Amino acid sequence: MTDKATPLGEAADAAEAVSNTKTLDVVARAGFAVMALLHIVVGAIAIALALGQPGEAEPTGAIEQLAANAWGPALMWAGMVACIGLALWQLSEATLRARHLPTKERIGKHISSGFLSVAYGSVSLTFGGFAVGLPGDSGESTRDVSAALLATPFGTVILSAIGLTIIGIGIYFILKGVRRGFKEELFHFDGSRRGRIIDALGVTGHVAKGIALILAGLLFVIAAAKHSPEESTGLDGSLKALREHPYGPYLLLAIGAGFICYGIFALVRSRFGRM
């Protein structure tokens, strides 16, 4: 008896059919657009930091900036719904659609799309917190979690593993950018001027995001090595630490510009991406 002939297989097929609805597709694309906007704002904040201005160069700081304008409450609710839709779409990618893939590809999809589902779900919770008047501080939350982990017997190992995982994701983004692996996600514009622009945005954006993630992961590893939770301050802390080095502001400017490029690329992904 094949897997599809079982009640479980039939239920999975029905759930997959639901996940392929136009409504989820539209909401997930809106989620990509929201994430694109956040990357553009984070990039602008990083550039401002390089120029000596205050700010929090991470998603919570970007959401706080968006919440401060006249349309803030509406944007918060819309962002929450869009990111929930994107998280659900990634979850369906990791589970329902991944079951049709060969074993090696299926495992990779479980890991990549599963991680993204959790990440987008976390962003949706941040939007929801601002929507109901409960803003958060990503750096402070990261330090609290790190302190709680280091207080446990295996906390150093776990925190190191978190840092190394983030570094690994950063390396993945760099390789994806250099190898132009992002082209698989798009309906291609090969050979056209528009295609060359999208290609340049994809390479620059993925490499810049990868570098930023590696820096953030290193802070977790350092915090674990020193048994010092205040060292783990997430993306914002890593970029601010970079500012203190002699050539740090120039690299920070480049990373900020790269995040803006990634954001523009993600906007293209939201419109022309394969779903």
- Of the three residues 105, 136, 167, the one that is the final residue of a domain is 136
- The span from the CA of 198 to the CA of 186, in Å, is 10
Q: Do 114 and 98 lie in a common domain?
A: yes
Q: Do 78 and 175 lie in a common domain?
A: no
Q: Do 126 and 159 lie in a common domain?
A: no
Question: How high is the pLDDT of residue 79?
Answer: 94
Q: Do 102 and 177 lie in a common domain?
A: no
Going by C-alpha positions, the residue among 218, 237, 213, 226 that lies closest to residue 163 is: 218
Residues (pLDDT < 70) of the chain are 1-20, 96-102, 104, 106, 109, 136-142, 144, 188-191, 229-234, 275
86: containing domain: 1-136
Q: Do 53 and 176 lie in a common domain?
A: no
Question: How high is the pLDDT of residue 190?
Answer: 66
Q: Do 111 and 172 lie in a common domain?
A: no
Q: What are the φ/ψ torsions at residue 186 (nearest 5 degrees)?
A: -120, 155
Q: Do 11 and 112 lie in a common domain?
A: yes
Q: Where are the alpha helices (DSSP H) in the chain?
A: 7-19, 22-50, 59-67, 72-94, 103-131, 138-150, 155-178, 193-226, 234-243, 248-272
Q: Do 250 and 180 lie in a common domain?
A: yes
Q: Do 11 and 60 lie in a common domain?
A: yes
- Residue 173: both structure tokens together: 């983004």
- Of the three residues 74, 107, 136, the one that is the final residue of a domain is 136
Q: Any residues with CB less than 8 A from the CB of 90 and at least 6 apart, and which?
A: 113, 114, 116, 117, 120
Question: How high is the pLDDT of residue 134?
Answer: 77
Over the stretch 197-238, which tens digit does the pLDDT of each residue have? 888 999 999 999 999 889 888 888 888 887 776 666 667 777
